[in-house]
Amino acid sequence: MTDRGHLRSYPDAAVASATVNTMQQIGGSVGTALLSTFAASAASSYAASHATATDAVAQAAVHGYTTAFWWSAAIFAAGAIVCGLLMRPGHAADRARRRARIRPLSSRSLHRRAQSSRSLRSPIS
């Protein structure tokens, strides 16, 4: 869907794409390890303090999962706040169109394109 002119105007697009992909993979693995550590720590501390309960292991597991969930919710909320602060006001499509210097197609030019593509087709026999 991209053309050569578009790729020529952004020579580092492939490097940026690979960097984003790598950071997503690293972030996912580090995030999973961090949340698993939080869950294990909370579960072990709960089990140590409630050792007399008959179902302490099950309650400790639920406590660990709940702690990991709340930590992940807090991290997500902090990320949303940071993203909200980094966004510039204005419509993103308008900024992208100005950057690429693409003018929107009018309904008349779309109609002309549709007519020309119909005339190029071979008749069905």
**For the chain, what is the domain count?**
1
Question: Which one-letter amino acid corresponds to residue 50?
Answer: H
For residue 113, being part of any structural domain is answered with yes
User: What is the arithmetic mean of pLDDT over 8-19?
Assistant: 79
Burial 25-41 (b: 16+ CB within 10 A, else e): eeeeeeeeeebeebbee
Which has more pLDDT, 16 or 65? Answer: 65
- Supply the mean pLDDT for the chain: 81
Which has more pLDDT, 123 or 106? Answer: 106
**Burial (0-12, 13-18, 19+ Cβ within 10 Å), 42:** buried
For residue 84, being part of any structural domain is answered with yes
Query: Is the predicted pLDDT of residue 5 greater than 60, yes or no?
Result: no
For residue 125, being part of any structural domain is answered with no
For residue 83, being part of any structural domain is answered with yes
Q: What is the domain extent for residue 25?
A: 4-120
User: What is the arithmetic mean of pLDDT over 26-36?
Assistant: 95
